[in-house]
Amino acid sequence: MIARRAQALTAATGRTIAVTAVSARDRSRNRGVDLASVQWFDDPVALARSGEIDVFVELMGGSEGAAKDAVEAALAAGKHVVTANKALLAHHGAALARAAEEHGVTLAYEASVAGGIPVIKAIREGLAGNEVSRVYGILNGTCNYILSRMEAEGLTFEACLKDAQALGYAEADPTFDVEGFDTAHKLAILTSLAFGVEIDAEGVSVEGISAIQPLDLTMADELGYRIKLLGVAQATAEGIEQRVHPTMVPKASAIAQVMGVTNAVTVDADAVGELTLIGPGAGGEATASAVVADIADVALSSLAPALARPTFGRPVSGLATPRRVEMQRHEGGYYIRLTVHDRTGVAAGVATRMAEANISIESIVQRRSAKAASSDPQGLSGQPVPLVLITYAATEGNVRKALSAIDRDGLLAEAPQLIRIERD
């Protein structure tokens, strides 16, 4: 991309941008570009300290080890750093930003969140005059692909994951993606930018998508929703909620239309209202787009230092310590699927326990198969059947309290399914 856009980049920045050195584990791998004229470093830290470079671009990944050591070395040596490493920033962002400030260099990271979508610049610069109340989005293409396939084709999570791995969308060990940790790292970065607080990756409540069943997607569709894995950061009177979990979103919402490996980020702000950015969240070209944009910004700001931006929108000393809002205090609507014994009084027992926990039920649907309905019209067989509840706004703590009581009553045939609803 740098070679292809060489003239345009020079015209835009007033400087020539060229790759002069590379470090990687495998020197012999065919990378599709001619590296014959490029200096090779076996040690990335040595490259980071090289006097022949202006900018160190880190694309190795990981929160520790070579990536962390090399970025720290580059900043200490007075080199600008461009990175796509969300894990590194989620765990060490404040310390790295402080080092960049101390040495008068830039730490840029557009590619670390939502790939080719310029969401970092949109929040930090484009919305600088806005007060943000909520930022949320689809931040992992693997999960969105799996949920999209499950919905469209009625497939199981396991079958869709296998296909995602065959297509290269999911790793051999997909845990980091499908259990929500990748999304959590990205969300922690967005939270810092949106609310002017220190990154708090440990304060993110995380649930993945591996427990989602085809029935949940069918019920969501019938109820007017789609299920997406969302990362949500929201300012409340108590502090800032940070949560990653499968979420029901209204089918009419912009984010519900985002299918496949595409990412989307929505920002709720006082001046612009709701702003949604949609685009490719991963892949070589999308990531390169964000990386090259950061390199161009660094080139331009090195000629005009006044154009340089603080890493997280304000100096590190100006970032507030976030007040965590624990998940138990979250308040919203819930989809609850209970697998109960098909017998008289079960639904009434469930409703009683919900009422005791101050939970109002918006709708309740009991799903019995056609065969069960014809052979046992009175519902006296005791066979397990799904009972689906949609609640009005309730706290997580009260919902969990009610489910524990229902379980103690012996009404459940298996563990309940709980999916939060994110309404407009």
With helix as H, strand as E and coil as C, how does 387-408 read? EEEEECCEEHHHHHHHHHHHHH
What pLDDT is recorded for position 368?
Answer: 59
Segment 115-162, tens digit of pLDDT: 899 999 999 999 999 999 999 999 999 999 999 999 999 999 999 999
Which segments within 25-103 are labelled E, that is strand?
A: 39-41, 55-58, 80-83
3-state helix, strand and coil shares in percent for the chain, rounded to the nearest 5: 40, 25, 35
Q: Is 283 left (phi over 0), alpha (psi -120 to 50) or beta?
A: left
Rounded to 5 degrees, what are φ and ψ at 413? -95, -20
**Separation CA 124–CA 264 (nearest Å):** 17
What pLDDT is recorded for position 372?
Answer: 46
**Separation CA 94–CA 69 (nearest Å):** 15
What pLDDT is recorded for position 303?
Answer: 76
Segment 265-312, tens digit of pLDDT: 999 999 999 999 999 988 889 999 999 999 999 999 887 776 678 999
Contact (Cβ atoms closer than 8 angstroms) between residue 110 and residue 99: no
Respond yes or no: is residue 186 known to be catalytic.
Answer: yes
- Over the chain (424 residues), the average pLDDT of each successive run of 10 is 95 94 90 88 96 95 95 97 97 96 95 94 94 97 96 96 91 93 97 96 97 96 96 95 97 94 96 95 90 95 76 94 94 95 88 95 76 50 85 96 95 94 82
**Separation CA 153–CA 155 (nearest Å):** 5
Contact (Cβ atoms closer than 8 angstroms) between residue 391 and residue 359: yes
- The residue annotated as part of the active site, out of 186, 228, 251, 401, is 186
What pLDDT is recorded for position 33?
Answer: 87
**Separation CA 100–CA 213 (nearest Å):** 46
**Separation CA 247–CA 149 (nearest Å):** 16
